[in-house]
Amino acid sequence: MLLEVKNMHIAYGDIRAVSGIDFSIEQGELVSIIGANGAGKTSILNSIMGIVPLKNGKIVFENEDITSLAAHQRARAGIRMVPERARVFPRLTVYENLMTGVYGLRKTINLDVQIAWLYDLFPILRERNDQPAETLSGGEQQQLAIARALISNPSLLLVDEVSMGLMPKLVDQVFDVLKQLNDQRGLTILIVEQNAIASLEISHRAYVLETGAIVHQGMASALLEDPKIKEVYLGTGA
């Protein structure tokens, strides 16, 4: 088991965002957590990353309890995230944004190889290399955020609402890239998404989240066929 989350509780003041969920991800899996806006999906990712504190529960990563580790220590341990709305550093250039992704690790990573690989994956970033990230379009920023998360060769990639605000064509492209990373490089990926169809189509397994609790789980292909899920989350009707 690469990641195991047990009895996760997250609250903001008195407002409960996530109440006691359990889930796990195997090495090499691509797993989705789908659910409506406000179901608590982003809170889950942020607390795995360590930038939102757990109220209760336990997070085990590579057989080690990381619950008490700070976010920067978890990043060093191999967890990286693509945040909601990309959140690239607006006044750093594209290249500098990528460099933040290998902060403290430059000596242990072959930077030339990584940058060549990422610029082949997202050619637009090569063109924009010296531009401040704030001058990039939404889709370009999203690609930069993915590249920034990948540059350190993480063992677990957390992807938060990557489809938000993107044109449908771009959504497909980004999901294709994630699928490729999982297929060809064996990268373990956890996606949280409102766009249930797009994420279920590339996932092995999925969890369905409703107001902070897991209400369904199973193979992604089975969930795609489930009439109840179809009606509520895929918006296609039975």
Partner 1 sequence: MQLFIEQLLNGVAMGSIYALITLGLALVYGILRILHIAHAAIYTVGAYVGLFLFKLSGSLIIGVAGSMVFCALLGVGIERFVYYPLLKYPPYVPLIGSIAVMLAIEELCRLVAGPQILTFQAVLPFPQFQIGGITVSSTLTAVYCITALVLLLLWYITSKTELGLAMRAVSQDIPIADAMGINSHLIVSLTFAIGSAIAAVAGSLVGIYYNQVYPTMGTVPAYKTLALIVVGGLGSVPGAVVASLLLGVAETLLIGYANIPLPRDALAFIAMIAVLMWRSEGLLGSR
Which residue number, 36 or 69, has a Cβ lying nearer to partner 1? 69
Q: Where are the beta strands (DSSP E) in 98-168?
A: 156-160
| Minimal distance, residue 87 CB to partner 1, in Å | 5
Residue 214 tokens, joined: 């897991």
Q: How far, in Å, CA of 135 to CA of 93, rounded?
A: 9
Kindly provide the b/e burial profile for residues 115-130, where b requires at least 16 CB atoms within 10 angstroms of the residue's own CB.
beebbeebeebeebee
Q: Does 53 bind partner 1 (CB under 8 A)?
A: no
Residue 35's CB: how many other CB atoms inside 10 A?
A: 25
Stretch that binds partner 1, among 8-16, 85-93, 165-173, 209-217 (CB under 8 A): 85-93
Stretch that binds partner 1, among 34-42, 98-106, 162-170, 177-185 (CB under 8 A): 98-106
Stretch that binds partner 1, among 1-9, 22-30, 59-67, 71-79 (CB under 8 A): 71-79
- Strands 213-219 and 205-210, sheet pairing: antiparallel
Which residue number, 91 or 169, has a Cβ lying nearer to partner 1? 91
| Residues near partner 1, by CB under 8 A | 46, 49-51, 70-72, 75-76, 80-81, 83, 87, 89-92, 96, 99-101, 103-106, 148, 152
